[in-house]
Amino acid sequence: MVSYHLNTLTQLRAGLDSRAFSARELTVHFLNRIAVHDGALNSFITQTPEQALQAADLADKRLAAGESGSLLGIPYAHKDIFCTAGVRTTCASKMLGNWVAPYDATVHHKLNAAGAVLLGKTNMDEFAMGSSNENSAFGAVKNPWDHAAVPGGSSGGSAAAVAARLVPIATGTDTGGSIRQPAAYCGITGIKPTYGRVSRFGMIAYASSLDQGGVLGVSAADCAVMLQVMAGHDARDSTSAPVPVPDYAAQLAQPMAGLRIGVPRQWFTQGLAVSVAARIDDALLELEALGATRVAIDLPDAALALAAYYLIAPAEASSNLSRFDGVRFGHRCDHPRDLNDLYERSRSEGFGAEVQRRILIGTYALSAGYYDAFYVRAQRARRQIAAHFAAAFAHCDVIAGPVAPTVAFDLGAHSADPATMYLEDIYTIPVNLAGLPGMSIPVGFAGGRPVGMQLIGPAFSESRLLAVAHQYQQHTDWHQHMPAAYREDVL
């Protein structure tokens, strides 16, 4: 077992409730860790120490009055894609470099009402477009396990901050793997709920039919606590599902006996690193020892899903980002000659290269003469992918497999090769296309860098996924490991 002390949300909650420390003291501790360590990581875009201390003091008053709550006084960080009134929301883009939202995202409103303490907004790939967190106007984020490696994307800032214990927990968003992949690369736990489980109101859109908010934390139990507060129907989001939210924490003890774990044959081929496959097999053996049964299944659509995603997502992005035109809000070029010049220069100056690439792909796919040939065919493929998942779940309860083909790659390794970068999401993208919940849990290391295993369930089966992950983490300690450079002064 690891030798350093680690506080889970449960332990932090107990410490606050017993007055072992105050919410202010807890907040100061994490603010100090950010001040000491984030210069090397670049995981934060905006820090909010004054607001955090005010929120902590309010939490202490609520605690003194006898109030309780799972997140009351608990510090956290937001991916900088959630709108927060009075605090800038940039999406890691020059286009929104100094924009301050006039309203709160539903997720932020819920966390604020629960008494959670926001420490700041984390770095990300610009407008959530990327798999490495190198596509940020504020610079790349470093992986805490190895500063030469990427932390994954697009929620890389949140993942790095949690892995280095600069925050106990953080929000993220997942359009094609952007919670699960950085969680895997940084050796933490991440969950993308079912599409519609968490409100998208105030979460700046990349691809509206794919985006979903979620959680990055140390453990499945911590993620269950955070997701409990975030989840639920929101009348302001037309895609929000009116489905009751179960008590995730109360269902973590579900036994593994009789659980059927589907393992896709097509995912364990030559495209998957041998060392990654070995760690996943070790994890599956552990689950089998707990009473689960391994079942071979077929999910033949990984390559098809990748092609469909990179038509559907850019098409939706080209529509969603059309509002950033230099007229209403966002970056505006200096001294435009005419309206066309205003549009062209504002957008070319405000958007980075990857965002521009995806806007162009999406606009092309939606253009007259190509809509049926590309976009419509991609949507047909999407239905086929969902049907194959449904067929697989007739034979298993959850699906397990890799999150990514390799461990975290080096910074700059794929910068000149977008196609290779896109392949990093080959195992996560099908889940978003089908609208299903997915998780990543740490299962070991390969070459000194973390390996994550993906768990996938039917729609609205987050409780089952969290329980499987929790039971595994009760019998292993991979989730407790943290990078050596950040172990000093951990609370």
Give tens-digit pLDDT for 262-281: 999 999 998 999 999 999 99
How far CA 105 is from CA of 56, 87, 100, 234, in Å, comes to: 20, 12, 13, 11
> Vertex 159, ends 425 and 54: CA angle to 5°?
145
Q: Which run of H or E residues covers position 25?
A: helix 23-41
Using CB atoms within 10 A of its CB, is residue 255 exposed (0-12), middle (13-18) or buried (19+)? exposed
- 243 contact partners, CB below 8 Å, separation of at least 6: 196, 197, 233, 460
- 15 contact partners, CB below 8 Å, separation of at least 6: 7, 21, 26
In this predicted structure, what is the pLDDT of residue 1? 35
In this predicted structure, what is the pLDDT of residue 489? 79
**How much is the pTM?**
0.96
In this predicted structure, what is the pLDDT of residue 15? 95
Annotated catalytic residue, options 22, 79, 199, 240: 79
C-alpha 125/C-alpha 80 separation (Å) is 10
Annotated catalytic residue, options 93, 154, 158, 461: 154
C-alpha 195/C-alpha 172 separation (Å) is 14
- 408 contact partners, CB below 8 Å, separation of at least 6: 143, 145, 146, 149, 150, 151, 152, 185, 186, 449, 450
> Vertex 225, ends 33 and 45: CA angle to 5°?
35
CA dihedral 181, 184, 189, 190 (to 10 degrees): 0
In this predicted structure, what is the pLDDT of residue 3? 37
C-alpha 220/C-alpha 190 separation (Å) is 8
Query: Nearest-CA neighbor of 71 among 18, 122, 110, 19?
Result: 110
Domain 9-266+277-299+387-486 annotated CATH 1.10.510.10? no
In this predicted structure, what is the pLDDT of residue 5? 55
Annotated catalytic residue, options 43, 93, 136, 178: 178
Q: What are φ and ψ of residue 120, in 5° steps? A: 160, -175
C-alpha 315/C-alpha 309 separation (Å) is 10
Provide the residue ranges of all domains of the chain, joining segments of one domain with +: 9-266+277-299+387-486
Number of H helices, E strands in the chain: 15, 11
- Ranges of the chain whose pLDDT falls below 70: 1-6, 491
> Vertex 215, ends 210 and 216: CA angle to 5°?
120
The CA radius of gyration of the chain, in Å to the nearest whole number, is 21
C-alpha 466/C-alpha 432 separation (Å) is 18
What is the distance between the terminal CA atoms of the chain, rounded to a whole angstrom? 18
3 state SS of 296: strand
- DSSP string for 68-137: --TTTT-EEEEETTB-BTTBB--TTSGGGTT-B-SS--HHHHHHHHTT-EEEEEE--SGGG--SSS---T
155 is catalytic: no
Q: What are φ and ψ of residue 373, in 5° steps? A: -70, -30
178 is catalytic: yes
C-alpha 262/C-alpha 398 separation (Å) is 6
Using CB atoms within 10 A of its CB, is residue 465 exposed (0-12), middle (13-18) or buried (19+)? buried
C-alpha 280/C-alpha 406 separation (Å) is 12
154 is catalytic: yes
In this predicted structure, what is the pLDDT of residue 2? 39
